[in-house]
Amino acid sequence: MMEIIDISLPLDRRLAVWPGDSEFDYELVWKRSAGAAVNVGAVKMSTHFGTHVDAPFHFDDAGQKIDELALTPFIGKAVVVDVRGQEQISRQTLSRRPFEGATRLLLRTDAWHDPRVFPEQIPVMDLDVPDWLGAQGIVLVGVDLPSIDALDSKDLPNHNALGRNHMAILESLNLAGVEEGGYDLVALPLKLVGGDGAPVRAVLIR
């Protein structure tokens, strides 16, 4: 029997927003209870709120925008690797986990303990990891964290290194309780024209 595991964070006002970024808001602007024929809602949110994809344009003015990205990296064989307890995610740690032919890597850190509270510090990959992953044929890296880089980073070395290796970036996943191993991933970003990023509804299929 096919199992579908939702690895997206729920979008509501309780989910922490990146400090200084646009607050999330959803409201019904048409209401049947007020006499409208239908209920219609409106959403205001950052393109990086909740589970989302970073387009290269997010960190590189010359980079592709979200509607220009190929969709291939966002659908296919993925492996969830358990790196809980690691302050730095190293090549040595990752090389001990078989990727089982998957070309999409999802890192379960469990370091964002409460998505209602923005974390003060998160684990990140060592600087040599993105190039090594590129050599392994990885096309997407996902994390259960609000960023692939340190929260106070200004030069975003992992973003840029992943971009240089043509790897997609998927952030703010909900991997709590997801077992290490192989899955099929579907995580398509919204086709936001000119977007620096876009929310996704990410699922694993087993």
Cβ atoms of residues 17 and 118 within 8 Å: yes
CA distances to 6, 52, 161 from 9, rounded to whole Å, are 9, 10, 26
CATH number of the domain that 132 lies in?
3.50.30.50
Q: Active-site residue numbers? A: 58
Residue 31 belongs to a domain? no
Residue-wise pLDDT tens digits, 155-164? 999 999 999 9
The count of structural domains within the chain is 1
- Using one digit for the tens of pLDDT, what is the confidence trace for 45-101? 999 999 999 999 999 999 999 999 999 999 999 999 999 999 999 999 999 888 889
74 located within any domain = yes
**In the predicted model, what is the mean pLDDT of residues 106-129?**
97
Given this model, what pLDDT does residue 54 score? 98
In a domain, 30, yes or no: no
pLDDT higher than 90, residue 112: yes
Q: What percent of the chain has pLDDT over 70?
A: 100
Q: Is residue 23 part of a domain?
A: no
Q: Which residue range forms the structural domain that includes residue 131?
A: 4-9+47-205
**Which pLDDT belongs to residue 1?**
87
91 within domain boundaries = yes
What pLDDT shows up at residue 98? 83
Q: List the helix and strand counts (H, then E) for the chain.
A: 3, 13
Query: What mean pLDDT, rounded, does the chain reach?
Result: 97
Q: What is the pTM of this model?
A: 0.96
Distances (CA, A) of 144 to 46, 108, 192: 18, 6, 23
Q: For residue 94, give every residue at least 6 positions away whose Cβ sits within 8 Å of its Cβ, in sequence order, or none.
A: 81, 83, 105, 129, 132, 133
Flag whether 181 is in a domain. Answer: yes
- pLDDT tens per residue across span 175-204: 999 999 999 999 999 999 999 999 999 999
Write down the pLDDT at residue 59. Answer: 98
162 in Cβ contact with 127 (< 8 Å)? no
Percentage of the chain beyond pLDDT 90 is 97
Closest C-alpha to 107, from 85, 75, 135? 85
Cα 150 to Cα 37: distance, rounded to the nearest angstrom:
48
Give a yes or no: residue 39 inside a domain: no
pLDDT at 100 (0 to 100): 83
